[in-house]
Structure 1
Amino acid sequence: MARTSKADLTSAGGISFMHAADSIGLQVIKAPADEPWDLLVTVDGNTIPVVIEAAAIVNPEMVQRLITRSSTLKDAIGVVVGDLITAPARDALRDAGWGWLDRRGHMALRANGLYIDVDVPADDRHVVRPPLQPISGVAAISWASALLMAPEDPPSMRSVARRVSLSHSAIVAAAKRLREASLVRADGRPLVPELFWALADVWRPRQVALAQLPSAKIADDRDPLGLGLDEQESGWAVAGTVGAAAWGAPLAIGRAYPPEFYVPSASHLRQSMLRLGESPRFEERACTVAVAPTPLVCIERFEPRGNEWGPWRVAHGLFTALDLAQDRARGAETLADWDPGDFTRVW
């Protein structure tokens, strides 16, 4: 599939912005051809020049490039229009004073006392890349994860279906949606980093803070929590900050940092809550647990290089990176500085 030109992206982005602005009562016209702006927005008699930047999927790294490239906006405001603008990218845009329009149905705009942060009608008339939500459900998350874990040598759909105990047809349907969204190349390789950030946008594990860490003794007692300390197939996997540090991410944390575990199933989560107790305060947690968004998290586990954080196996580096992408405070910065040596960087 041919890549859409920047001019076409900007033109389509401008049209989408005009439709969204009109839906909330703003007056928008195209700027004169001899002006460096794209649009003019009139609010309470004041005219605000707008420069449009557009992309299919907008991630923090792209935002940083846009801000650097457009550092001399002068009296204009920058607005990014995208089919999907990830949460970390939205935060970066807010911090930089930029506006944005996510075609799935949300607009944010700040300028000269104007503050808009509102839902707008979803716009699929000018979406450059078709499906607005190409990744949803375990099958799609699993297939996207499998591609990103081996971006240069994609696995077969049947092998992934077997690994995650889903039907082949479910994986085929998920793969079709990714292709239609132009997140997978013609040769089957994932489009990087776009697929990573599309996956990060739906990566929403629900963490439960526990009062105690599990012990090896529990694992010896028929392993009711499914820790899998002595099994190679499936079990608890450390991800998040501790998991990323174990893979060499530039994070300064100590041995006392509470690990973030993924568990294989909801029943394992319930057992852990019963046996280890919930922490009354998140800040006092011994660890957190969450059901893995895809079985691959708890299947693809690795021995850590040392025992600094205990005997736990760690999740694949991809999943630790997806967790970091959810951290608004330092996640994007850590990912930008992290160039892993043990797996392929896909962000």
Structure 2
Amino acid sequence: MSEAAVEFRDALKQVGLDTIREIGEPDERPDLVVVGPQGIRIPIEIQRRSLLTERELPSLLERAKGTPSQATHVVVADRVTERARVELRSRGWGWLDLRGHVHLEAPGVFIDARVTPSARGATESSKESLAGRVGLELATLLLMRPDAALGIRASAAELGRAPSSVSEEMSRLRGAGLVDQDRRPVVPDLFNALAGRWRPDSVDVAALPAPHEDLLDQALRIAAADPEDQPGWALGGSLAAVAYGAPLHVSGAYPPDLYVPDTVTLRRAMQLLGTARSHEDRAGTLRLAPVSAVCRGRVDGKPYGNSAWPLAHPLFVALDLAADPGRGAEVLASWDPPEGWHRVW
């Protein structure tokens, strides 16, 4: 029995299908026969992949054409992306994602369940790949340009990092199945992994300066007058989402969430603006940008609801929304960013 067949058999045992008969050698068909309810026998054909994205599906389907039509097809992979799962399900295929998810549809059988992750799964790799600042910076760069096959040296130059550091992080992302062989992000998987790490330090403040208040502009590095050419404060959160057309309702008095470039600016703002007595009493919330791109690649807010504050890139606004697993997830499911930006969630 092939290793992939053993892994699939062991996963099915965890959900109660523990009568599985192997037939022949690994190069013979079918790979497995699952005995379901009332003794129904289900021949299973298994293919093994390290990473399965929607881009790899055509070759997978082509290879399956020569197998018996009555067989149920299954792919076992270290990682099966969400979009690949949708396509597999529509074609009646099953899968085992070795990070801990099994799916099988066949006559008399429907299984879609969490199982114990295999040691070969990519869970730990995923965590390690986004544990440091370089990993976060590289992930955001890839998601901001999802159609570009970014080279190591070009990425390193843009991020201001050593090529060796970027190369190491890229390898980790590929090992976790979050970047494909062309160095393009696997979406929404990379976005979801990044969202799990997107926890900016924040402070509720008692007052806020006007976006173009000259007295505080230089001291607090606001730079609202020139958002696209220099770093400064950037509006994120719900108000930015509304400005970009997300299906979200907030009142006109809703306190803004503003990203600031660095720790020095955040501390100085706390001294000059004061901290709020409570979250309910805040004039706004200041967030320390986890990566410099938040405050460096700002968007002029005037074309988007005539916002007086420059806006953060839609990617960072989406990451803010993802922090709310209830309302935020619902908004993300039905929000496409304005033309010129890519939906990666």
**TM-score class, shorter:** 0.5 to 0.7
Aligned counterparts of 2:219 and 2:18: Cα–Cα separation in 1: 66
| CA contact 1:84–1:132 (8 Å) conserved in 2 | no
Runs (5+) with no aligned partner, structure 1: 19-27, 37-52, 70-79, 86-97, 104-122
**What residue is the counterpart of 1:34 in the other structure?**
35
The structure 1 residue matched to 2:184, chosen from 167, 180, 189, is 189
1:1-347 aligned within 5 A? 11=9, 13=11, 31-32=18-19, 33-35=34-36, 56=79, 83=99, 103=117, 125-127=119-121, 131-133=125-127, 134-216=129-211, 218-221=213-216, 223-231=218-226, 232-306=229-303, 310-342=307-339, 343-347=341-345
AA aligned to 1:214 is: P
Q: How far did 1:167 drift?
A: 2.6
Residue-pair matches, total: 272
Q: Which is bigger in relative contact order (C-alpha 8 A, separation at least 6)?
A: 1
Structure 1 pair 129/328, CA: closer, same or farther in 2 (3 Å)?
Answer: closer
AA aligned to 1:34 is: V
Query: Over the residues paired in the alignment, what is the CA RMSD in angstroms?
Result: 3.7
Aligned counterparts of 1:268 and 1:12: Cα–Cα separation in 2: 54
Structure 1 pair 126/170, CA: closer, same or farther in 2 (3 Å)?
Answer: closer
Structure 1 pair 339/307, CA: closer, same or farther in 2 (3 Å)?
Answer: closer
AA aligned to 2:222 is: L
Determine which structure has more spread, i.e. the larger CA radius of gyration. Answer: 2
Q: How far did 1:83 drift?
A: 3.3
Question: Does the residue aligned with 1:262 lie in a helix, a strand or coil?
Answer: strand
AA aligned to 2:125 is: P
Q: How far did 1:183 drift?
A: 1.4
| CA contact 2:255–2:285 (8 Å) conserved in 1 | yes
Aligned counterparts of 1:336 and 1:263: Cα–Cα separation in 2: 28
Q: How far did 1:279 drift?
A: 1.0
Structure 1 pair 181/216, CA: closer, same or farther in 2 (3 Å)?
Answer: closer
| CA contact 2:78–2:120 (8 Å) conserved in 1 | no
Q: How far did 1:217 drift?
A: 5.9
Aligned counterparts of 2:196 and 2:80: Cα–Cα separation in 1: 10
**What residue is the counterpart of 1:23 in the other structure?**
none
| CA contact 2:204–2:276 (8 Å) conserved in 1 | yes
Identity of aligned residues (%): 34
